[in-house]
Amino acid sequence: MAYHIQDLTPGMSASTSKTVTETDIILFAGISTDVNPAHIDEEYCKGTMFGTRIAHGMLSAGFISATLANKLPGPGTIYLSQTLKFKAPVKPGDTVTATVTVREVDVAKNRVILDTICTVRGKTVIDGECLMMPPVKPAA
């Protein structure tokens, strides 16, 4: 279901959860060409502050995009901008929950600002906000 700008009100929220797998990390490395050893080399990672491999931050940020595109505002929405603050690592096997919450709606300009957050076991791993252009209801 797509929400039109006229349907949106502050406080509306939607979430998507996804467990990050080994395959997700390897495929994202190939697609993005980000082959940082922090993501793909376990031996290298043993000597890092995390002690193990971590998922690409943008992989988890992609779950925000999926929530916006599929749930709120939904299909037909155009992404205009996004801020991201990476707060903690996501490791293989972690389940990331991306939640978007409408903060402001400007019907006249067809813009909506949403707070965006990703969590793992209740801990914030990404925090930010986005600006979207949702679909407009056709004139009757």
Average pLDDT of the residues in 65-80: 96
The dihedrals phi and psi of 31, each to the nearest 5 degrees, come to -70, -45
Return the CATH class of domain 5-133. Answer: alpha beta
C-beta atoms surrounding 98 within 10 Å: 25
- List all residues 6 or more positions away from 14 whose beta carbon is below 8 Å from its beta carbon: 67, 71, 72, 99, 100
Note the Cα 120 to chain centre separation in Å: 13
Average pLDDT of the residues in 94-113: 97
pLDDT in tens, 16-56: 999 999 999 999 999 999 999 999 999 999 999 999 999 99
Q: Which residue type is seen at 46?
A: K
For the chain, domain boundaries: 5-133
**Rounded to whole angstroms, how far apart are CA atoms 40 and 56?**
10
Average pLDDT of the residues in 69-91: 96
CA-based end-to-end distance of the chain? 19
- pLDDT at 139 (0 to 100): 74
pLDDT at 2 exceeding the cut of 90: no
pTM recorded for the entire structure: 0.94
